[in-house]
Amino acid sequence: MYFLPEELDNYVVAHSEDEPELLRQLTRETYQKILQPIMLSGPYQGRVLSMISKLTRPKNILELGTFTGYATLCLAEGVQKDGEVHTIDVNEELLDFQRKYFDKSEYGHQIFQHLGAATDIIPTLNKTFDLVFIDADKPNYVNYFHLIIDKLNPGGIIISDNVLWHGKVVEPLDPKDVSTKIVLEYNTLLKKDPRIETVLLPIRDGLTISRKR
């Protein structure tokens, strides 16, 4: 889905930073070997994540939904030298693939993989975070916010992916469509919660940046 006319969208991408070669390789192998490669953040959104991370220079980063590690590596580009990147995914089969690419990068020793449902893992993380990327299952987005907000440092950022949910947020709601219902609830929560300030950016499938006051 393009929010801009395709020609303009191509222009935007062409005049943004190119993705690093390692991420190109990761993308190629994801498309060769892994189901649903479309879940990758991709080159443009990846550069946006990298830029936000470099601008905010987080000490600790948390990602919900690692998949093959594309966004993990983009976020890691801005982490402080003594910082940590924690990333959670429920799919055990992805662990070796992720680790191979993490260790090919300069951030391998700073990236910690967690296997399991994010709702189970988050409460076990005895840390606070400066940057959180929410990109796992949509029905848990509201739960994720409530689990994370007290672990987010003042001035910390939550980036939430897929908040426009392929445009379904402005279509009539099918009562059986739990994901869209929760994404709608989530977007309202981000707008109204007084602990954060939020801007929703029409990047790819919708990317919200929320900053803790």
Contact 188, 204 (CB under 8 A): no
Q: Which residues contact 172 (CB under 8 A, 6 or more apart)?
A: none
* DSSP for residue 17: P
Nearer to ligand SAM, 23 or 190 (CB): 23
Dihedral sign for Cα 50, 54, 55, 57, please.
positive
Nearer to ligand SAM, 84 or 135 (CB): 135
Contact 133, 62 (CB under 8 A): yes
Within 31-50, the residues that bind ligand SAM by CB under 6 A are 39-41
Determine, following the binding rule CB under 6 A, whether residue 111 of this chain makes contact with ligand SAM: no
Length of the chain equals 213
Determine, following the binding rule CB under 6 A, whether residue 102 of this chain makes contact with ligand SAM: no
**Among candidate residues 135, 56, 67, 65, the one with its CA nearest the CA of residue 95:** 67
Nearer to ligand SAM, 161 or 213 (CB): 161
Per-residue contact string for residues 48-77; x = within reach of ligand SAM by CB under 6 A: -----------------x-x--xx------
Give the range of 14-22, 86-94, 97-105, 181-189 binding ligand SAM by CB under 6 A. Answer: 86-94
Per-residue contact string for residues 127-166; x = within reach of ligand SAM by CB under 6 A: --------xxx--x--------------------------
CB of 177 to ligand SAM, least distance (A): 17
For 39, phi then psi, to 5°, come to -70, -15
Strand ranges inside the chain, DSSP E: 60-64, 84-89, 111-115, 129-134, 152-161, 196-201, 207-212
Binding site for ligand SAM (CB under 6 A): 39-41, 65, 67, 70-71, 88-91, 117-118, 135-137, 140
